[in-house]
Amino acid sequence: MNQLRLLNVSKTYKNGVKALDDVSIEINSGMFGLLGPNGAGKSTLMRTIATLQQPDSGEIYLDDIDILNQKMELRKVLGYLPQSFGVYPKLSAEKLLHYFAELKGLSNKAERKQIVDYALEVTNLYDVKNKHVAGYSGGMKQRFGIAQLLLNNPKLIIVDEPTAGLDPAERHRFLNVLREIGTNHIVILSTHIVDDVKELCTDMAILNGGKLLCHKKPIDAVLDLKDKIWGLTIDRESVERYESEYNIISTNYNQDNSLNIRVYGETSPGDEFMKVEPDLSDVYFVHLKGDEVEATNPQS
Ligand SMILES: Nc1ncnc2c1ncn2[C@@H]1O[C@H](COP(=O)(O)OP(=O)(O)OP(=O)(O)O)[C@@H](O)[C@H]1O
């Protein structure tokens, strides 16, 4: 069982943006979702763990590897899929993987074939292994990225917003690949898509403005909101009035002139509201909203 530990990690960019603000967290084997809006600091955190940039302060350990001081040790057991990656030559997926495996020092042909076949199978690319990677769709390229990092037999896999540009079918396939490898590695998936975490992750944290707002199993985080989410359908004209009177955490427009609002409250906000089952989106919005309120009234 592997464990990643971050202790008081902070980073302020030269322009004054505090991208990481005293982040401490422990992450164990399995699928971990790091959820946050654009600009939350997710990429900064992923790149820092991947040793691609240095924090201003803090410590990071993967088991007994001191990541910030033993970069090469970490890189040997790391698989990192960045938000966007390079251009591929016109080579088949299989040839390219053999080439990468050779670069990694796997000189024994039989061993190399075994790991390349495994990587192609896990990522569902075996049937298209003879096609040029340059001609792959976005989703296939993402899966190829995973195949490539599996050659390392990594203990820690980091994927930074991998589903952002994928169509629903490709996204589904990609998540299935992650699900498959998540069982025996630490896999950290950064995303702003709540459903990615909902469908996949056994543990998660929410990051906003460089701060960790919540670290919980999705199932427990949803349970915490039981009996605290209230729904109501209103017409569009009344939106502003409800917004000023209630703690609305999300709104969903219907095809007619109405919209469904969801309100957070320990008790019913009013007779017209109905108690609704909480879901992971509620968890996300309740935390982001709470953070916003705290930022405007820091002393309360
Ligand atoms: N090299 C940099 N120099 C200055 N500011 C930066 C730099 N990189 C990121 N930032 C800022 O730091 C904050 C966090 O950025 P980061 O890319 O880590 O967030 P993110 O959660 O990954 O967002 P996104 O989903 O948009 O990629 C943002 O305000 C961003 O503008």
Q: Is the CB of 17 under 6 A from ligand 1?
A: yes
Cα 134 from chain centre:
26
211/23 Cα distance (integer angstroms): 6
Mutate to test the pocket of ligand 1, among 11, 13, 38, 191 (most ligand atoms within 8 A of CB): 13
Beta strands in 63-199 (DSSP E): 65-66, 78-81, 156-160, 186-191
The 10s digit of each residue's pLDDT in 142-192 is: 899 999 999 988 999 999 888 877 888 888 888 888 888 887 789 999 999
Task: Provide, rounded to the nearest whole percent, the portion of the chain with pLDDT above 90.
Answer: 67
Q: What H or E segment, with its residue span, contains residue 263? A: strand 258-264
User: What pLDDT score was predicted for residue 89?
Assistant: 77
Atom 26 of ligand 1, nearest CA residue: 38
Neighbours of 157 (CB within 10 A): 23
- Both tokens of residue 138? 């976005």
Torsion angle, alpha carbons of 285, 288, 290, 296, to 10: -140
C-alpha–C-alpha distance, residues 158 and 297, integer Å: 35
**pLDDT tens figures, 103-129:** 888 889 999 999 999 999 989 999 999
Tokens encoding 42:
């997710």
Tell me which H or E stretch contains 121: helix 109-122
**Residue 178 CB less than 6 A away from ligand 1:** no
| Cα diameter, the chain | 72
pTM, to two decimals: 0.89
Q: For 250-255, which contacts have Cβ atoms below 8 Å and span 24 or more sequence positions? A: 250/281, 250/282, 250/285
pLDDT mean over 196-210 = 94
Q: What is the mean pLDDT of residues 43-72?
A: 96
Residues paired with 132 in a beta bridge: 92
Task: Tell me which residue has tokens 């946050």.
Answer: 36
Mean pLDDT over the full length of the chain? 91
Q: Is the CB of 13 under 6 A from ligand 1?
A: yes
- Centroid of ligand 1 to alpha carbon of 20 (angstroms): 10
Contact 154, 79 (CB under 8 A): yes
